Structure 1
Amino acid sequence: MAERRHGAAPSTDSEVRHADWACDDISGQEHARVAFHDVDLTEVLDQGASFTECVFSDCRFNASTHTDAAFVNCAFTNCSFFDATFTGCKLVGSAFDRCTFGLLKVTGGDWSFVGLPGADLRRSRFVGTRMRECDLTAAKCADATLTHVDLAGALLHRTDLTRADLRGSDLSTLDPLAATLRGAVIDPDQAATVAEALGLDVRPALPPP
């Protein structure tokens, strides 16, 4: 199910409601097909926990820290991730709807096939993350850091990348006429890619006469 995108939320077999896990250490826990409703995960410490085909609604992940954890084919609705940190985590196939992400920090990991359409990712930070075929349609990424990110096949239609730092990232599927790029920071190789996407013929400089 890694390629699930925009489909119905996973079916669940059990649920956790109105739980207070704030500041808990959930490292190593394993959950599959569980529905979490109104669970407070603020400042949780998570080293290697695994959530598979789980549903999170109205949950708070603020200031939580996740390292080498997995949230595979999960659905997040109306959840908050303010100042949350994900390092080396796997979120393949997960989808986010009406979530908030202020100051989200992601380093490494695999976020391929993740659904983030319309997400407000302003000032969020993604570094060295695999985001192949991630849906960022109409996402707000102004002032975000997206460096050395694998965006091959990503959906970037109407994505706002104003002043975003994109250096080192794969922009091969970016249509510069279908996204907002004002003030975005790119490197010379990316500049050639963008120019070619605009139909320009990029060639080596001519020697002086």
Structure 2
Amino acid sequence: MQAPQIPTEVLIPQSFTSITQAEDHLLAQVAMKQETITEQQLEHPLIDQSTLSGMVFMGDTFNRFEVTDTLFRNCTLVNCDFTGISLFRVRFENCKLVGTTLDHGTLKAVTFVDCDGSLTNFNETKLTQVAFQHSKLTELNCWESTLKQCQFTDCDLNQADFSGTSLKHHDLSTCRFETLRVSDWAVRDCRFNETQAAYLARLFLGITLA
């Protein structure tokens, strides 16, 4: 996956709230730290070549949120509405995104590492070269979405819902789940381990392996 291209040597410390004062709602080449943004509503905010560390976003609504070449580290983004989001070369490290909505979004070259994405929504979203690594994705909703060249490595996918989403050419064999909501046609040419394959055989064919 492509890493964010961030000129760390030129980043300027800045408050996220300054985005409301910018005419174009743009923050570029800035470093944001340790702020809490609650129930803020923004139309088409943009973040480019920046870092966010220890930031807390709770119940915010950012319509058509665009983020490019940016790192989120140790951030909390809970119960936010980022419908129509666009992420390109963005990395999330040890972030909490519980209950956040990224429906109708476009994600390309995005990485989630050691994140909690429980109850996160990626419905009708295009995910290209998106990597989920060592993350909790329980009760994830990913309905009617498009996945291309995505990676799921050592993730908890229990009760994740991929209804109407093809997993063709993807590998879930290192992940864990007891139940998974997925269409029967959508698992063709997807790689599973033996335990997962036994579950799917029972789910779709009523077959119980001895």
TM-score (norm 2): 0.76
**1:120 match:** 121
Q: Between the two proteins, what is the percent identity of the paired residues?
A: 15
Describe how 1:43-54 pairs up with structure 2 within 5 A: 43-54=44-55
Q: 1:134 maps to which residue? A: 135
> Could you tell me how far apart the structure 1 residues matched to 2:25 and 2:16 are?
15
Q: Distance between the aligned counterparts of 1:105 and 1:126, measured in 2?
A: 6
CA distance in 1, matches of 2:112, 2:36: 21
Distance 1:58 1:101 in 2: 13
In structure 2, distance between residues paired with 1:117 and 1:105: 19
Structure 1 range deviating more: 144-153 or 48-57: 144-153
| Equivalent residue, structure 1, for 2:20 | 20
Separation in 1, partners of 2:28, 2:51: 9
Cα shift readout 1:125-166 (whole Å, capped 9, x = no counterpart): 221112112221111212122332110111111111112122
- Please identify, of 49-58 and 140-149, the stretch whose mean Cα deviation from structure 2 is larger: 140-149
Q: 1:7: which partner in 2?
A: none
Q: What letter corresponds to residue 20 of structure 2 in structure 1?
A: D
Quick one: distance in 2 between partners of 1:147 and 1:181? 17
Deviations along 1:60-106, one digit per CA (max 9) or x if unpaired, are 22202111111111001221101010111011111123322221221
Partner of 1:83: 84
Deviation for aligned residue 1:16: 6.7
Structure 1 residues 96 and 196, CA gap change in structure 2 (3 angstroms): closer
Aligned residue pairs: how many?
A: 185
RMSD between aligned alpha carbons?
A: 2.8
1:38 correspondence with 2:46: no
Greater share of strand: 2
Q: Choose between structure 1 and 2: higher helix proportion.
A: 2
Aligned equivalent of 1:72? 73
**Normalized against structure 1, the TM-score is what?**
0.76
SS at match of 2:32: strand
**TM-superposed deviation, 1:113:** 1.7
Query: Where does residue 180 of structure 2 map in the other structure?
Result: 179
Corresponding residue number in structure 1 for 2:10: none
User: How far off its partner does 1:120 sit?
Assistant: 2.6
Is this contact kept in 2: 1:32–1:51, CA < 8 A? yes
CA apart distance, 1:187: 5.2
Relative distance call for 1:120 and 1:109 in structure 2 (3 A) is closer
Q: Secondary structure in 1 aligned to 2:181?
A: coil
Alignment-derived partner of residue 196 in structure 2:
197
* SS of structure 2 residue aligned to 1:69: strand
Q: Secondary structure at the match of 1:198?
A: helix
Q: Is the 8 A contact 1:20 1:39 kept in 2?
A: no
> Could you tell me how far apart the structure 1 residues matched to 2:131 and 2:70 are?
15
Distance apart, 1:197 and its partner CA: 3.4
